[in-house]
Amino acid sequence: MPDSWRLALGTLTVLRVPPPRAVTPVVAGRAMLLAPLAVLPLGLLVTVVGQLGARLALPPLAVALVAVGALAAGSRALHWDGLSDVADGLTASYDPARSLEVMRSGASGPAGVVATVVVLGVQVACLAPLLTSTRGALVAGLLVCASRAALAGCCLRGVPGARRDGLGAAYVGTVRLLPAMGLWSVAALALLLAAGWPGLVALALAAGVVAALLRRVVRRLGGVTGDVLGAAVELSLAAMLLGVLTGGPVG
């Protein structure tokens, strides 16, 4: 378990931790299941930024932008890079090999830029009203953590990998269905207690978005990559933020 914690913290946050002694499929799978707990510091960061902004009476939109920027910095913008690469890859060609090559290049094309702007805009627009209250800021931090449950869904056994190398290759197919269902159940309970029924709407919407993304990349690319994992996180967070506001402002 210590190796899984180190892998999760070292991969998903900027926290400096000793590297795991070995990255086996068991270690990698547990790291994905631990992802929501590993990013607790990032969730707390978003909550603190929101509270500081409210105390200083700063414009909510500006506070939300700072919160999203701080969250990106705290994760090395790894997931944003994945979102951009996936958007470019899926629009570059119908040939899987060509699409994967575009994703590997790391350069952001028009589709990647648009996808990043749209998803970032949704996150900021939804965070702005949440961060104006203490309860809303706490819910926002919880959603940051819960959105990382998308990683376990992408790494389920039976979901193929698109390539044998790359950051995501070590995680593909390492998570069993039952633990993943347990993780999502815990997330559902936490969101229900924190936000009421809109919390469950948020989780259901995120699950649908992740499932749609997986279906698309498996059909177009042949499976998931590390970039797909990152895209799933950012899309999941945007979906959760939208879903939690379906019942009106939180707070």
Rg, Å, the chain Cα set = 17
Q: 66: closest CA among 136, 131, 144?
A: 131
pLDDT of residue 248: 65
Coil vs helix vs strand at 171: coil
What is the model's pTM?
Answer: 0.95
Quickly count: other Cβ atoms within 10 Å of residue 157's Cβ: 13
Mean pLDDT (whole number) for 114-126:
97
pLDDT digits (tens, 9 = 90+) for 14-64: 998 988 888 899 999 999 999 999 999 999 999 999 999 999 999 999 999
pLDDT of residue 136: 95
pLDDT > 80? residue 176: yes
pLDDT of residue 251: 63
Per-residue confidence at 92, pLDDT binned at 50, 70, 90? confident
pLDDT digits (tens, 9 = 90+) for 100-113: 888 888 778 899 99
